Chain A
Amino acid sequence: MTWIAVKRLHRRIAPALALLALLSPAIDGWAADVPSYRVLRGEVRIVCPLTVGGVFETKTTSISGTVGVADGSPAALSGELSVDLSTLDTGIELRNTHLREKYLEVARGAEFASAVISGVRLDKAGTSTFRGQTAFAGTLLLHGVRRPVAGQAEIRSEGNDVRVLASFPLRIDDYGIAAPRYLGVGVKNEVQVKISLLVTPAPAASEAAR
């Protein structure tokens, strides 16, 4: 390519480069300065109805993650929340062993060791300042299977932080998990997942980089 040819090419793409240069801070800002929230602490409870009547709860406080809230309707949450399944506690040691090893098979790999919620969209929320109740939908990775989930959430302020309460039903067989049965007592196929999170605004990426 001759020098003249280079100059001609430059003349052609210069407007596009200029536009790109003008836009790049905005694009960078959109990615980095979306309001983000980091999980300070939380609890996940799974309410398991028994085939003989009554229920028991399995719970863990090992939930972590950071999500960004992009304005829009419905508001979309980037990022994900991860729950360490090896810490689930049913209150009974033998039941813990069965749950983790026989049914959730947490030792099979990363996609079995954690449950991950991602792609969450809050129906009624338009901005990160939304407070109140809303339906939500998202994707849950559990037992190596990704499936859509939907439920109800409540978001409220607690000082500078935000409390999120969410619940959704989950069908065990949707995730390829064997029906929990032990000596004539089992867990029904549909369980309720209840999440309580306290999240705090996380510094934006651009701010954190300074």
Chain B
Amino acid sequence: MKGRLAILAGVALLAAAAPGNAEPIFLARQYARCTTCHFSPTGGGLLTPYGRSLTREELSTMGRGHSTAPAADASGEQAFLFGLLGNRLGKLSLGIDLRPGRLEVAFPGGNDDRNLLMNAEITAAFRARGWTVYGELGRQPQREEDARVDSFEHWVGYESQKGLGFRAGRFLPAYGIRFSDHTAFNRKPLGLDTSDQVYGLELSHTGDRHLVQLTASPGRADSIIDNDGTRAFVGAARVQFDLSTRTVLVASGLFHGESDVNPSDGSAGLAFGFSPIRRLTIWTEGDAQFQQGSSGAPSYVLVNETSFEVFRGIWLKVSPQLRTSLGDTSGGTFRWAFELNLLPRTHWNVDLSHYRDKGRSNDVVVKTTLLQLHLYL
């Protein structure tokens, strides 16, 4: 039984960790909003030209010194394909994301290791006069041997100069803090994995010190396309208060309605992020997950991610994570996650992650090590 659980956990991680995407670490640089660097209001995905420039100027060790073109120039190192197309793209932004990786999973009685292509996708966005049209086409590993090519995110959005906005299409609902690691306990277990986008409508208002995002959807995008009986209403609300330029409080709620197959469930959470010094960002999120028909305590999630910039372009992350079982607060899993992220140049970085997942009721320990090369062209 222990061995089977371990294998399941390992396989789950196999189709898993893809760090190096959204960067809530940038709270340390006074960036409390995803939209400064990403087209998506929920973060991750294609970088805006500003985000690309910041990647070169602030994130990479040597990017700034290796280009004679200004950081704002379309022919600079940070631009699409190293600026090969110059100004020809106009207001169209493109990005290619490739993540070859090496995964090793060790569990009681065995181990598994393999080379794999975590992600391979191309994303495009067109932005003008407050309107954004965004689309991504890519390949993601879904199961052990199976990869899927699809458009996981596509939407059209608008934001007025007064900060009122909407978007409609396929996207991840806004909830909590979107850590770059989508296997984090405040993402995948809560229904915020890489393929958990909804078809829906998001309304938002952003101000100097707050951000409100409300999402309503007839269901997960895949459940609508596949018509597999899991289709159900999804609603989400996220409110962010910027207590200072480096201190953020986020309250969130997420609800999945009852479908033909699944009971309804929901989550509510609070997240707090702060950056006491320029090189350090500390995020902590706590969530409670409820499920219809489940007696006893909800499932609790507590995640901390502490990121420290050891040297320009070298980040160390430590993340203790706890998730209790539904109805059993003594059950669940405790995780230690460690990550070393090296960003020598603008368009590529190397990421080494190690996870130690321990079952709280059965003491089964699964150790996962993932080495990735992230090419962002």
- A residues lining the B interface (CB < 8 Å): 47, 49-57, 90-94, 182-185, 188
Question: Given the interface contacts A50-B36, A53-B33, A55-B242, does A183 sit within 8 Å of B72 by beta carbon?
Answer: yes
Question: Given the interface contacts A91-B29, A184-B50, A184-B127, does A52 sit within 8 Å of B35 by beta carbon?
Answer: yes
Question: Given the interface contacts A52-B206, A54-B242, A55-B209, does A94 sit within 8 Å of B71 by beta carbon?
Answer: yes
Using Cβ atoms and an 8 Å threshold, which residues of chain B touch A51? 161
Query: Is B278's beta carbon under 8 Å from chain A?
Result: yes
Return the chain A residue nearest B242 by Cβ. Answer: A54
| Chain A nearest Cβ from B299, distance in angstroms | 32
Q: Bound complex: CA of A103 vs CA of B57, how far in Å?
A: 19
Using Cβ atoms and an 8 Å threshold, which residues of chain B touch A47? 245
Using Cβ atoms and an 8 Å threshold, which residues of chain A touch B346? none
Indicate the member of A47, A53, A57, A185 with the most B CB atoms within 10 Å: A53
Return the chain A residue nearest B159 by Cβ. Answer: A52
Q: Bound complex: CA of A57 vs CA of B49, how far in Å?
A: 22
10 smallest A-B Cβ distances: which pairs? Answer: A53-B206, A56-B30, A183-B50, A49-B208, A183-B49, A54-B33, A94-B57, A185-B50, A54-B32, A57-B245
| Chain A nearest Cβ from B334, distance in angstroms | 34
Indicate the member of B36, B54, B161, B207 with the most A CB atoms within 10 Å: B36
* Residue contacts A-B, CB under 8 angstroms, 12 given: A52-B33, A52-B35, A52-B206, A54-B33, A54-B208, A54-B245, A55-B208, A55-B245, A91-B29, A93-B58, A183-B53, A184-B49
Query: Is B82's beta carbon under 8 Å from chain A?
Result: no
Indicate the member of B48, B54, B72, B208 with the most A CB atoms within 10 Å: B208
Interface size bracket, B side: 20 to 34
Using Cβ atoms and an 8 Å threshold, which residues of chain A touch B29? 91-92
Using Cβ atoms and an 8 Å threshold, which residues of chain A touch B54? 92
Question: Given the interface contacts A92-B58, A183-B49, A183-B53, does A53 sit within 8 Å of B72 by beta carbon?
Answer: no
- B residues lining the A interface (CB < 8 Å): 29-33, 35-36, 48-50, 53-54, 57-58, 71-72, 127, 161, 163, 206-209, 211, 242, 245, 278
Using Cβ atoms and an 8 Å threshold, which residues of chain B touch A53? 33, 35, 163, 206-208, 211
| Chain A nearest Cβ from B129, distance in angstroms | 12
Q: Bound complex: CA of A51 vs CA of B130, how far in Å?
A: 11
| Chain B nearest Cβ from A15, distance in angstroms | 66
Q: Bound complex: CA of A54 vs CA of B29, how far in Å?
A: 12
Using Cβ atoms and an 8 Å threshold, which residues of chain B touch A56? 30-31, 245
| Chain A nearest Cβ from B94, distance in angstroms | 15
Cβ-defined contact, A54 with B31, below 8 A: yes
Using Cβ atoms and an 8 Å threshold, which residues of chain B touch A50? 33, 36
| Chain B nearest Cβ from A178, distance in angstroms | 15
| Chain A nearest Cβ from B37, distance in angstroms | 9
Q: Bound complex: CA of A53 vs CA of B210, how far in Å?
A: 8
Return the chain B residue nearest A51 by Cβ. Answer: B161
Cβ-defined contact, A185 with B57, below 8 A: no
Using Cβ atoms and an 8 Å threshold, which residues of chain B touch A90? 30
Q: Bound complex: CA of A188 vs CA of B50, how far in Å?
A: 17
Using Cβ atoms and an 8 Å threshold, which residues of chain A touch B161? 51
| Chain B nearest Cβ from A171, distance in angstroms | 15
| Chain A nearest Cβ from B301, distance in angstroms | 26
Beyond known contacts A53-B207, A53-B208, A184-B127: 14 more, CB 8 A cutoff? A52-B206, A53-B35, A55-B208, A56-B30, A56-B31, A56-B245, A91-B29, A94-B57, A183-B50, A183-B53, A183-B72, A184-B48, A184-B50, A185-B50
Question: Given the interface contacts A91-B29, A183-B50, does A54 sit within 8 Å of B57 by beta carbon?
Answer: no
Using Cβ atoms and an 8 Å threshold, which residues of chain A touch B33? 50, 52-54
| Chain A nearest Cβ from B213, distance in angstroms | 11
Q: Bound complex: CA of A47 vs CA of B245, how far in Å?
A: 9
Return the chain B residue nearest A94 by Cβ. Answer: B57
| Chain A nearest Cβ from B278, distance in angstroms | 6
